Structure 1
Amino acid sequence: MYKFAEALESIKEKGLYREMLYLDAAPGPHTMVGGKQMLLLSSNNYLGLCNDDRLKEAAIATIREFGVGSGGSRLTTGSYRLHRELEERLAQFKGTEACLVFSTGYAANLGTIAGLADKGWVIFCDRLNHASIIDGCRLSGAKLVIYKHCDMNDLEKKIKRYHTGKGLIVSDGVFSMDGDIAPLAEIVKLAKKYSIMTMVDDAHATGVLGPNGGGSVDYFGLQNEVDIQMGTLSKAFAGEGGYIAGKQSLIDYLRHKAKSFIYSTALAPHNIAVSLKALELIQKEPERRKSLLEKSRWFRGELVKNGFDVPMNNTPIIPLMVGEADKAVTFSRMLYDEGVYVPAIRPPTVPNGSSRLRFSIMATHTHEDLAMALQKTIVIGKELGLI
């Protein structure tokens, strides 16, 4: 019999025990956590659309028309005209021929990579890629080669060593814990040089980066160069689900091979309606992402100016590096006591010795919100000896 109690005690001793706090209200700039009014600085609700009345109205109207559930998988009874409309509009938005919507972003990565590759493939994967990418690579049976984070010299060296035929380079567009942007132009260049396919996980970039809000691929103008674009509907889009965008032949193939698509119940129609409305607003209201990035730059710059260890990037994800897990947890709890909710990120989510607070800015935060959080962060950072 596995001794769960002993294993949990070991987790606690390492400062890695996780407890869930429960929100009692919508995840806006201010919310209720455990019955307490909090400034929320940890949500992936980048554009602040989770509580937008227009999205709520779209969901309510669709529930009245279609009910509350899809009733089946996409290949049985779960496909609605709304799914087709969203896939067509997302393909246009991402600059691709076609698109396929999955129940989650995790399912999109898992099903696509495992459905595409097999033991005859080699997959080159950034060391800091999301867990869903790693799991998809392992499930596929392909040879998995990890290259150093955003290190193109290491990537090319490993391509020369391991590439034998069918290959895939896969990378996050924006890395979820560090907030940095992958060097996609260099990745595409190497992929073309060695005839390897490319896949970009744009979960944290879609709706945020690029002249059209299309994500990191849009940011670099590589819509016609990247083979597979993955995205989520649960971050800037404020809803649920994930998708893969690419050539029509790829999408048709995944319908037959991606098990997480084939064997999952389809997203309910009201979730699709929310994503359709969010996509409309992302395209019509570019000032949202402009405001988001301006506020993010200001907050990051002020943290650096005050002596915190904060990597520079151009996204709303701002990691304040702490180091040890225990100290990161203490920092988070002290901020919580002051009315600021920023969870500590610890191993195994990040490597040992790199625990951090992951600040995440929303377009709907005010400068007063951010100034208040900054002031409290500085006071506690000094008390903990971090600055």
Structure 2
Amino acid sequence: MKTNFILLSLSCVTFCCCNQAGKHASFERLLQDQTSFDTLINGKQNHLYTLRNTEMAVQITNYGGRIVSLIVPDKHGAPTDIVWGFEKIEDYLKAEDVYAGPLVGRYGNRIALGKFSLNESDYQLSINNAPNHLHGGNEGFWDKMWDGKLLKNKNGEDSLVLSYFSPHGEDGYPGNVMTQVAYTLKRDNKLQIDYTATTDQPTPYNPTTHPYFNLHGTTSKSINSHYLQINASHYTPTDSVLIPTGEIASVEGTPADFRTPHRIGERINADKNNIIKYGGGGYDINFVLNKSDTEVSYAATLSEPENGIAMDILTDQPGLQFYSGGCMNGTDVGKRGELHRKYSGLALETQHFPDSPNHPNFPNTILKPGETYRHTVIFRFYVTKDSLQQH
């Protein structure tokens, strides 16, 4: 009897170890090959950095600060890569969609006609989203080589610090700006991104990060099945080229009302207010988060009932841009040979409001000498059987 018990115990240990080893092997297969990113770009060395904890991994390249892979467990413990991207750096360099995963700035989102006035001077930025300036323009952060440093923080957590010096006049912006972005993979399955920046002249400044999420782990399944909740009672209506009118409008009675969880595709063809028709047949809306301070607080939850993967977003920023991928056209071929089709990925960008330099009633986005810009966003991952749980 005792011998049988020992044998049974050994069998359990062997099964558990094999099961864990199997999960680990599956996890490793989802990681991209670092050698596929090792190359010179504009005379600087490009790398692929990998941050890990016991449950998750994130891979980031210093070309534009792109999040290449973000691997989390589903409700069965199966590792799942939930961001869209490419398997080698050459594919990023030739992609039609340049906003797959990068840092964007100096100014994330749009500035009308690429124009703004500051201290009685007029400025003209590049026009890369006619007739407007988008995500820093032709010389934005997304196309820059950042300096990277991989380290462990005081808690023993993996962290990557990226730095970039943006010279006065880059893409038409005034001032020399030094930006530092720290990515930290926390032990409790949070990816925290902290931005800091300084300038020697007043300048508009509104960076954000732009990963395309698909919680299915494959772009062959639409994000329209995901449930989304946003802690926002208002949004900023736009004209036909997605420039805010200046109004702060209620989401009440509109397809933009995500104060309780809704399936993303649920109201995409029922827009009586015409507020989502300009996003390529989907959402491309800035939400005014329900907050009155600059503390990090809850902004949104994204979840997928099929595999139980859920993600909370917390931030100190006043806005959240939700883009549901309506303009994706299937041209780019990404990881695992999958196409980037319409609604195959979504972006949730913590930010200040679009075109703020031209709207005095919007929160201020002018960074001044002597100030330090700060911006924190936390992506918190977990699994749940109840995707409709309200926060």
Q: Give the TM-score, by structure 1 length.
A: 0.25
- Which of the pair is proportionally richer in helix? 1
Q: Give the TM-score, by structure 2 length.
A: 0.25
- Which of the pair is proportionally richer in strand? 2
Larger relative contact order, structure 1 or 2 (CA cutoff 8 Å, min sep 6): 1
